[in-house]
Amino acid sequence: MNKSQTERRHCSTNYYSCLFITVLALLIGACDRQEREETARDEQVAEERQTESAEVSEQRTESSGASKKFSNYQETGDLADIEKRGIIRFVQLYEDPNGALARSAIVSQSNTQLAKRLAAKLGLTPYFLVAETPQQGIEMIINGEADVFAESLEATEERSKLLGLTEPLQRTQRVLVTGKKGPDISSVKQLKNVELTVLKDSTLSEAAKQIAAENASSNITVRELPMDELTGELLESIDGSDPIITIMAERTAETLEGFQGEAKIGDKVSDEPVAIVWAVRKDANNLRTRINNFLIDTLVKAPPQREADWKSIKESGVLRFATYNGPGYFIWKGVLTGLDYELASKFAEENDLELQIIAVPDKKDLTDLLKTGQADIAGASTTITESRRKQGVDFTTPILETTQTVLSNKKSPPINTLQDLNGRTLTLRSGSAFIETANTLRQSGVDVKVEVAPEDASFGDIIKGVASGEFDATLEDTNLAAIQAALYPELVAGAVVSDPLPQAWMVERDNNTLLEKVDQFLEEFLGVKKNRAMVDNYYKPNKQLLKRAEAPVMPGGELSPYDKLAKKFALKHNLDWRLVVAQMWQESNFDPKAESHMGAQGLMQVMPRTAQEMGFDGPLFDPEHSVHAGTKYLDWVRERFEDELPADEKLWFALAAYNAGIGHLRDARLLAKKLNLDPNQWFDNVEVAMLKLSEPRYFEKARYGYARGAEPVQYVKNISNLYRAYTDMASGDIARLRHPLPGYFSEASPGRSLITGVTGQFCPQQSGATLFPPRHSVLPSSLLPTAASPWSQ
């Protein structure tokens, strides 16, 4: 049966929709939570448990060299025996790699982050293994297949007899949870004719069975699901007319209440709060003692209210950083990233503080959180303006400076000079720094009209409006204008309309010591050349992604220098080798030493932690290991989708998830359904929803938050275009097919009927392939189903 992936969480339990899977995780909470990332699917279950490893860390590896496979082993000793191996193995629940976006969480205290920090404290290399159920994880600890169960495990008397349980990470109640339109769950004793859907083989499933047994006449049934299936079902049903009823930790359920405002919390299931712990082997006393000491020293709670001065910050041990979910703070390929996030993390680390991210809605003014004492620092590429200073804030040392540029539609007359703005209209958001620039232009004699966008319009709406021709023009920071013009081919960047404007963070007025600390950090950090390059990378277009599908191929020749590797591993993972080559070109231009600024490596640009979960250790600059890891991961992602999906749609979904992360893809499918689009079809449907996940009105209600939606859309389009050309160029022998491959459909056929022609055109006279924009998936006629083909039965 197919495994639909889940979503883990790293989250605390404050307001807003703190990560959902911490939702479902703690959810499943007190009992068994997650926050790991995608684990490897090997062809045999035994091999999975032996070889699936995970992320050593999210830091990128600078050195080159070949990666190697990690082979698990049996170790039943204590800390001294573990230290001899130099590796500590953490087991977590089978889940989706990313975990939802933390909107108000101490991001450094998720289970995974704590495990990494523990490993660093012990001087050991961490490996993350996965279990589908809490019971399987417990067995892995007992049998010596893992060393620490680093999940939110509920402490029970039975478990204490089998395992060494740590000091509690927290205490919580179990509660009933359903959607707003669900049945009355205010009293356990009043439940009648309902089904409780809970995590398989967990203490929550035991609690559900006990409720059913104690209320035998009430017709209560219990359904158990693996974590990934339970999470997906809860998400899909919670705002529907018939939501499921489940049991989760109360503190986690409270965060779920904020997720689209659709959750309803009911009666308590437990009489007393239950302890949430980690676990080690029963006789591993030294390891347990070291973990207990680490947790006592490390775990902190974010105080609900305190002063924002430096002394109070240090006493609390927590730095509260307010920002927007957007380009400065977002999840990409399973990694929390963004310029503001990276800088805030480094500042907190340098000062021995835990970082609490407070991601506020797009329409909320960040200065309000400073003035009300809810945050210590605030910023999201915030331009220094006098109007903001008048609101009672001081600005830090500038992080960067940028001019402002006009963006207009290519079909309109160009705006290359200030004089070209005469008679034109700029559509701008109210309260933005661009309004001040436009007013300055008018005062200097430029006859430009300023139109304030509707209050509910996001900046993304304005950009799309200019691209579609709805609006005449707008303004954008110059360092972002090139990215916008690259993502939207209809746009063109024009005249620069301002002097360089500094962008910085904000603190409350007269918070002088904090301001001095931040200024000192920024000046020292940004003074290092490689750090400045890191900042610049956030504002450069992704040339590899944004190039069109053009590859130097000739009929009858090899498609790439790595055709043999593509054929070898495509065969192993039931992919078309030409698709693998197309993806390889898109990812790295066939450069085996390629490395992105976010750390993706090699021909297939796999993130190191993802590769480790696929069973590969070390850098991925060796072509064979990179292609093997990439094809294995693509196949693994493809298997996360329902069996009922057409094979071609599963492939497009898998490619989009490979690029952006499966969490954003799931958000896009859920959004497509709400927009009355087809959640089971990529082109013209889910890709439309994916684009909308860059707009606050949509991403603020998405579990994984902001997505650079134009990137996966262009990514899938480029690969499908190039793949179409390659199918004309080379044969596609494939064996051992487990799935039907994508069908080959006519561009003009609304019924998607099979044809035997080729809709793309290959032009050998040129250096690349010129193709029709894809609207349906393609397959060469040599691979079309026949009566004797294995997938036509």
Question: pLDDT tens-digit profile of 262-305?
Answer: 678 899 998 788 888 999 999 999 999 999 999 887 776 655 56
Residue with tokens 């939110």: 152
pLDDT over 50 at 536, yes or no: yes
**C-alpha angle 502-504-508 in degrees, rounded to nearest 5:** 130
Higher-scoring residue by pLDDT: 527, 755: 527
Q: Give the least confident one: 65-79, 356-370, 625-639.
A: 65-79
Name 158's Cβ contacts closer than 8 Å, sequence gap at least 6. none
pLDDT over 80 at 550, yes or no: no
Residue 680 pLDDT: 95
Higher-scoring residue by pLDDT: 601, 725: 601
pLDDT confidence tier of residue 517, bands split at 50, 70 and 90: very high
242: tokens are 């018939």
Mean pLDDT for 99-117 is 67
CB under 8 A, 24+ apart: contacts of 257-260: 258/15, 258/16, 258/17, 258/18, 259/17, 259/20, 259/23, 259/701, 259/703, 260/17, 260/701
Give the residue among 676, 674, 577, 683 at the shortest CA–CA distance from 630.
Answer: 577
How far apart are the C-alpha atoms of 681 and 673, rounded to whole Å? 11
Mean pLDDT for 219-240 is 80
Instruction: Name the most confidently modeled range: 66-80, 455-469, 528-542, 570-584.
Output: 570-584
pLDDT over 50 at 378, yes or no: yes
- What domains, with CATH codes, occur in the chain? 1-299 (3.40.190.10), 310-400+504-535 (3.40.190.10), 404-499 (3.40.190.10)
Across 568-619, the runs of DSSP E, i.e. the strands, are 616-617
pLDDT over 90 at 104, yes or no: no
How far apart are the C-alpha atoms of 404 and 407, rounded to whole Å? 10
Mean pLDDT for 71-95 is 90
Residue 195, CA distances (Å) to 183, 250, 257, 353 in order: 11, 20, 21, 45
- Mapping DSSP onto H, E and C, the string for 779-791 reads CCHHHCCCCCCCC
Q: H-type helices in 247-400, by residue range?
A: 250-257, 285-298, 310-316, 339-350, 366-371, 386-389
pLDDT confidence tier of residue 613, bands split at 50, 70 and 90: confident
Mean pLDDT for 33-44 is 33
Count of helix runs (H) and strand runs (E) in the chain: 29, 27
Burial readout 421-449 (b: 16 or more C-beta within 10 A, e: otherwise): beebebbbbeebbbbbbbeebeeeebebe
- For the chain, the straight-line distance linking the first and the last C-alpha, in angstroms and rounded, comes to 19
Judged by DSSP in three states, 662 sits in helix
580: tokens are 């693998």
Higher-scoring residue by pLDDT: 638, 152: 638
**C-alpha angle 721-724-730 in degrees, rounded to nearest 5:** 140
pLDDT over 80 at 767, yes or no: no
> Active-site residues: which are they?
587
Residue with tokens 């926050």: 35
pLDDT confidence tier of residue 557, bands split at 50, 70 and 90: low
Q: Quick check: 615 and 128 in contact, CB under 8 A? A: no
Mean pLDDT for 314-340 is 84
pLDDT over 60 at 17, yes or no: no
pLDDT over 60 at 436, yes or no: yes
How far apart are the C-alpha atoms of 236 and 241, rounded to whole Å? 11
Residue 109 pLDDT: 58
**C-alpha angle 528-532-537 in degrees, rounded to nearest 5:** 150
Judged by DSSP in three states, 120 sits in helix
117: tokens are 């920090």
pLDDT confidence tier of residue 103, bands split at 50, 70 and 90: low
Q: What percent of the chain has pLDDT over 90?
A: 43
Residue 56 pLDDT: 31
Higher-scoring residue by pLDDT: 90, 615: 90
Residue 534 pLDDT: 81
Residue 729 pLDDT: 61
pLDDT over 90 at 11, yes or no: no
How far apart are the C-alpha atoms of 247 and 172, rounded to whole Å? 12
Mean pLDDT for 371-382 is 90
Measured from the Cβ of residue 737, the count of other Cβ atoms closer than 10 Å reads 13
Q: What percent of the chain has pLDDT over 70?
A: 75
pLDDT over 60 at 759, yes or no: no
pLDDT over 70 at 46, yes or no: no
pLDDT over 80 at 461, yes or no: yes
Task: Identify residue 683 by its one-letter amino acid code.
Answer: F
pLDDT over 90 at 634, yes or no: yes
Residue 217, CA distances (Å) to 180, 194, 245 in order: 26, 12, 19
pLDDT confidence tier of residue 44, bands split at 50, 70 and 90: very low
Question: What is the distance, to the nearest Å, from the Cα of residue 752 to the centroid of all Cα atoms in its chain?
Answer: 32
**What value does the mean pLDDT of the chain take?**
78
CB under 8 A, 24+ apart: contacts of 207-216: 207/174, 207/247, 207/269, 207/270, 208/247, 211/269, 215/188, 215/189, 215/191
Name 411's Cβ contacts closer than 8 Å, sequence gap at least 6. 469, 490
Residue 208 parent element (H or E): helix 203-214
Higher-scoring residue by pLDDT: 234, 126: 126
Q: Give the least confident one: 212-216, 512-516, 620-624, 771-775.
A: 771-775
Instruction: Name the most confidently modeled range: 31-45, 592-606, 726-740.
Output: 592-606
Residue 186 pLDDT: 93
Name 87's Cβ contacts closer than 8 Å, sequence gap at least 6. 124, 125, 126, 127
